[in-house]
Chain A
Amino acid sequence: MSVKSWWVAVLCGAVLAWPAAAQEPGAEPKPKDTETAPKDAPAETKPEESKPKHAFEEPPLHRWGGLRLTAYVWQPSVGGADDAVATRFNGTARGLNAGLTVSNNPALSDGYGATWLLPHQLGAIDFGYDAIKNTSPLERLDPGTFLYGETLVLPDFAGIADNGYADGFRAQSVTKSRRFRVEYAHTAFETPRARGTWHAGLRQLGHSKDVQATYYALAANLPPILPPSNVNPDLLAPRADFGQWQSDFSGNGVGAGFDIQYHVHPRVDVVGGFSLGLVTGKQKLQYRSRTHFYLWTNPNPPNEQIIPTFSELAGFLGSVTDTQALSQLDAAASLIEDNASHAAEDFEGYFGVEGRAWRTLRVFLHVRAWALVNAATEMRPTSEALATTTTGFAYAVSSYRKTEHSVAYEGIVLGLSYRF
C-alpha cells in the first residue's frame, strides 16, 4: 500500500474519531454493549430491555434479534499477481534482458454482508460476499524494432523471423476473485474495554485468471508486395501471434477466525482480526498459442513445399513469381485440463477503527489484506511438435507443466453498516 494511502487512512481515522473526541467525556453515558459479533457482524450482549439513553446509543434488539446490513468499498492493490507476458532485449552492448509483466492496477471493489443477530446472546449468523475484478493492460508498440520476446506463445514460429521477437505487443491480465461466507459468531471473552469474538463456518471461493497477449510485426520491412506483383498483400502481411492462459477455480471449504474490539471511546472502537480458510474444488485450465509461418510451394511438379527462413522469405517476396507461390499458415496449439481437483487457501487480516455515527449506523475504516494462495494455475506446454492435419497444421502437445499462482489484495476499506 502506498504512503499516500496510509496518510488517507490516518486522516480518515482522525475524522472518524474527531466528532466523538470533541464531546465532553462525562456527557456520554457509559457504553452499552449491545452487540457481540465480528467486525461487521455485531451481536447483542445486553438484554433487549435496555433503553437508549442517548441519541447515539443503539436501541435494543427485537424479540427475533436484529439484522445488520453492511456495505463497503475498497480499492485494493494487487500483489503477487504480476503476469509475465514478454521480455525486452536491451541490445548486445548491454546484454540485458528485462522481463515485462502486467502489473495489476488497483480496482474499485465492493463487498456486502448481512448479519442476523440472534436474541438472548446466542451469537450471530453472518453472511458475507466479496468480489474483486481487476483488468490490467500492458502495451509496448515499437514498430520496426524487434526486441520484445513472445513469452506466451510456443517458440517454433514465434515472431516474423521465427526468432521469438515482435516489435510490439498488447497484453491483458484479468484477475477475478469472489467469496461467499456463512459463519456462526459468538463472543469469546469480554471485558469493560475489549471484546473478542470467534467465528467459523463455510465459504465458497472462486478465482479466475485470464492472461493473454497479442504480438505484432508492425513494421517487418519485408520486400514490398506491390505491382508488378498482383498478389493481394493482405494475404501475406504478417499476422499477429497470440498466446493465452486461463485458470478458473471454484470450490467450497471451511474457515474460522477471530476478531477483537477495543473501546477507546464510547462511540469509537479499534478493531482487528484474522480469518483462515481452506477450500477444495474443481479447476479448469486452458492454454492457447497461435503463431504463423510462410510456406512456399514449388509450382512445378512434384510441387515440393518448404518453410522458408526469414532471408529466404525476403528472397521469395522479391520475386514476382515466387511471391505467387507463397502462403501464410497458422500453427495453433491448445491445451485444456478440465475438472481437475484443486485446493486453495484463503487468508485475511484487518485492523482499523469503527465509529457509531447515529443510532445503529456504524462507519468503519479498515486496513485489510486478503490473500488467496495457490488459487490459480498456469498451464504451459513443454514439448510439442507441428503436425499436419486435414485442415492445415497444428501442434501436438506431448507434455506440459503447471505453475501455481497466488494473489494478495491490500487496501483501505471504507464501509457502513446499519442494524434494523
Chain B
Amino acid sequence: MNTVRLSTAASVLMLLLAASTSCNSSQPTQNESQVVSLSFSARSTNPTWDCWDTDSAAQPVYCEQIFILPGVPERISGLMPWALSAEVSIIPEGKTAEQVVATTVGVAGVYTSFTNVTAPDTALYSGRVVPANPTAGVAYSNPRKVAQGSPVYAAFTKASIPPPNVFGSPSTYDFTVHKGDTIIVRARKIRVQDYVSALVAPFPGDEVLSLKLSGSLTINGAVANALGTTQSLNADATGITFSYTVR
C-alpha cells in the first residue's frame, strides 16, 4: 500500500515539475513575405528642343533648341538616361551581416559595373509647327517639344541610349523579403567623362551638374519611407544609400 502511495506521489511530483518547466508561451515569429520593387531615376534641368520627323534618310529627326531670350535656353526638369552601379543587400531579421541580393559590380556590359540605366524622358510637349531654319526640299512632320533626355533628341544627335535596366528589368527590380528584414540599396552614377561622349554628345555641362540620381522602394505597392539618402548630390559620380526595415 505504501509503495503504491509512494509511486503515486512521485508521479504527481514529476508531472508538476514537468508542467512548471515546459509551459512556454512564446509564439513562433511571423515570417510573411513582402514583394519589394526597386526603381531608379535620374533627373536634371534640361534644355528643350523642338523636333520634327523628316523625309530625309540622312536626318530622319530634326531638332532646334528653344531659347526664351536670345542666348538664354529654355530649361525644364526632366528625366535623363544615366548609367549607374548598384547593389542591393538584405540583413535578415536577427542577423548583422548583409547578404547581397543583386549587384552590378563586376558585371560586364557597355560600361562594366554600370549596367543599370535609368529611363529616358519620354514626355512630349506641343512644339512649333515648322522649324525656324528648315532645309530646303525636306518635309517636316510630327512637331513636338522634348527635353534633352528624350530618345527623340538622342535620335537627332544619333546617340545610342542604352535601354532602361534595373538588374535586368526595364522598369523595376522586384524581389521578396520577409518581415523584419532590412533592405539596403546603394547606387552610384557613372562618371561624366566615362559616359557623356557616347551618349548625347555634345552634352552641355549644366545638365551634368544638375543631375541627381534617385531611388525608391515600394513594399507590396506602397511607397516605403526609407532611411538614408534617396537622392544624390549633383556632383559627378556621387551616389545614394538608403535602407528600409520591413515591418
* A358 at the binding interface (Cβ < 8 Å): yes
A224: which of B20, B21, B190, B240 is its contact (CB, 8 Å)? Answer: B240
* A3 at the binding interface (Cβ < 8 Å): no
B92 to chain A, nearest CB (A): 10
Cα separation A144 to B181 with both chains bound (whole Å): 12
B20: which of A8, A16, A142 is its contact (CB, 8 Å)? Answer: A8
* A318 at the binding interface (Cβ < 8 Å): yes
Known interface pairs A18-B9, A141-B96; 7 further A-B residue pairs with C-beta atoms within 8 A, sorted by A's residue number: A12-B17, A19-B2, A144-B228, A170-B96, A219-B182, A224-B187, A229-B188
Q: Cβ of B243: which chain A residues have Cβ within 8 Å of it?
A: 143-144, 219, 221
Q: Which residues of A contact B (CB under 8 A)?
A: 4-5, 8, 11-12, 15-16, 18-19, 22-23, 55-56, 75, 139, 141-145, 168, 170, 216, 218-219, 221-224, 226-229, 240, 318-320, 357-358, 363, 414
Chain A to chain B: the 9 pairs with minimum beta-carbon distance, closest first: A221-B228, A224-B186, A219-B243, A144-B227, A19-B5, A227-B113, A143-B182, A226-B188, A226-B85
B91: which of A23, A143, A358 is its contact (CB, 8 Å)? Answer: A143
B239: which of A141, A170, A318, A357 is its contact (CB, 8 Å)? Answer: A318
> When the two chains form their complex, are residues A357 and B242 in contact, meaning their CB atoms are under 8 A apart?
no
Q: Cβ of A414: which chain B residues have Cβ within 8 Å of it?
A: 17
Cα separation A170 to B16 with both chains bound (whole Å): 35
Encoded as 1 (CB less than 8 Å from any A CB) or 0, chain B from 17 to 55 comes to 101110000000000000000000000000000000000
> When the two chains form their complex, are residues B9 and A15 in contact, meaning their CB atoms are under 8 A apart?
yes
A227 to chain B, nearest CB (A): 4
* B154 at the binding interface (Cβ < 8 Å): no
> When the two chains form their complex, are residues B86 and A226 in contact, meaning their CB atoms are under 8 A apart?
yes
Known A5-B20, A221-B228; judge A12-B13 contact (CB<8 A).
yes
- Interface SS of B by simple majority: mixed
Among B137-145, B200-208, B229-237, the one that faces the other chain is B229-237
> When the two chains form their complex, are residues B188 and A12 in contact, meaning their CB atoms are under 8 A apart?
no
B229: which of A56, A141, A221, A240 is its contact (CB, 8 Å)? Answer: A221
* B184 at the binding interface (Cβ < 8 Å): yes
B197 to chain A, nearest CB (A): 15
Q: Cβ of B190: which chain A residues have Cβ within 8 Å of it?
A: 228
> When the two chains form their complex, are residues B91 and A218 in contact, meaning their CB atoms are under 8 A apart?
yes
* B214 at the binding interface (Cβ < 8 Å): no
Q: Cβ of B17: which chain A residues have Cβ within 8 Å of it?
A: 8, 12, 414
A267 to chain B, nearest CB (A): 10
Cα separation A170 to B8 with both chains bound (whole Å): 47
Cα separation A143 to B246 with both chains bound (whole Å): 11
Q: What are 6 A-B interface contacts by the 8 Å CB criterion?
A: A16-B9, A18-B9, A142-B245, A219-B184, A221-B242, A226-B113
Cα separation A218 to B114 with both chains bound (whole Å): 26
B167 to chain A, nearest CB (A): 14
B234 to chain A, nearest CB (A): 11
Q: Cβ of B95: which chain A residues have Cβ within 8 Å of it?
A: 141
Q: Cβ of B6: which chain A residues have Cβ within 8 Å of it?
A: 19, 357-358
> When the two chains form their complex, are residues A55 and B2 in contact, meaning their CB atoms are under 8 A apart?
yes
Q: Cβ of A170: which chain B residues have Cβ within 8 Å of it?
A: 96
> When the two chains form their complex, are residues B8 and A19 in contact, meaning their CB atoms are under 8 A apart?
yes
Q: Cβ of A320: which chain B residues have Cβ within 8 Å of it?
A: 191, 237
Q: Cβ of A143: which chain B residues have Cβ within 8 Å of it?
A: 91, 182, 184, 243, 245
> When the two chains form their complex, are residues A227 and B188 in contact, meaning their CB atoms are under 8 A apart?
yes
> When the two chains form their complex, are residues A168 and B96 in contact, meaning their CB atoms are under 8 A apart?
yes
Q: Cβ of B241: which chain A residues have Cβ within 8 Å of it?
A: 221-224
B88 to chain A, nearest CB (A): 11
Q: Which residues of B contact A (CB under 8 A)?
A: 2, 5-6, 8-9, 12-13, 16-17, 19-21, 85-87, 91, 93-96, 105, 113-114, 182, 184, 186-188, 190-191, 194, 227-229, 233, 235, 237-245
User: B245 — nearest CB in chain A belongs to which residue?
Assistant: A143
> When the two chains form their complex, are residues B239 and A219 in contact, meaning their CB atoms are under 8 A apart?
no
Q: Cβ of A55: which chain B residues have Cβ within 8 Å of it?
A: 2
Known A221-B227, A414-B17; judge A226-B96 contact (CB<8 A).
no
A216: which of B96, B186, B228, B239 is its contact (CB, 8 Å)? Answer: B96
> When the two chains form their complex, are residues B114 and A227 in contact, meaning their CB atoms are under 8 A apart?
yes
> When the two chains form their complex, are residues B229 and A75 in contact, meaning their CB atoms are under 8 A apart?
no
> When the two chains form their complex, are residues A227 and B105 in contact, meaning their CB atoms are under 8 A apart?
yes
Q: Cβ of B2: which chain A residues have Cβ within 8 Å of it?
A: 19, 23, 55-56
A145 to chain B, nearest CB (A): 7
Cα separation A222 to B239 with both chains bound (whole Å): 10
Cα separation A144 to B227 with both chains bound (whole Å): 6
Q: Cβ of A15: which chain B residues have Cβ within 8 Å of it?
A: 9, 12-13, 16
Q: Cβ of B237: which chain A residues have Cβ within 8 Å of it?
A: 228-229, 320
Q: Cβ of B233: which chain A residues have Cβ within 8 Å of it?
A: 318
A219: which of B19, B91, B188 is its contact (CB, 8 Å)? Answer: B91
Cα separation A229 to B187 with both chains bound (whole Å): 12
Cα separation A145 to B190 with both chains bound (whole Å): 30
> When the two chains form their complex, are residues B229 and A223 in contact, meaning their CB atoms are under 8 A apart?
yes
Cα separation A319 to B237 with both chains bound (whole Å): 7
B212 to chain A, nearest CB (A): 13
B193 to chain A, nearest CB (A): 10
Q: Which of B114, B240, B241 has the most CB of A within 10 A?
A: B241
> When the two chains form their complex, are residues A226 and B228 in contact, meaning their CB atoms are under 8 A apart?
no
B40 to chain A, nearest CB (A): 13
B16 to chain A, nearest CB (A): 5
B179 to chain A, nearest CB (A): 14
Cα separation A31 to B235 with both chains bound (whole Å): 95
Q: Which of A8, A219, A223, A240 has the most CB of B within 10 A?
A: A219
B96 to chain A, nearest CB (A): 6
Q: Cβ of A75: which chain B residues have Cβ within 8 Å of it?
A: 21
Cα separation A309 to B132 with both chains bound (whole Å): 55
> When the two chains form their complex, are residues A228 and B245 in contact, meaning their CB atoms are under 8 A apart?
no
A85 to chain B, nearest CB (A): 16
B171 to chain A, nearest CB (A): 22
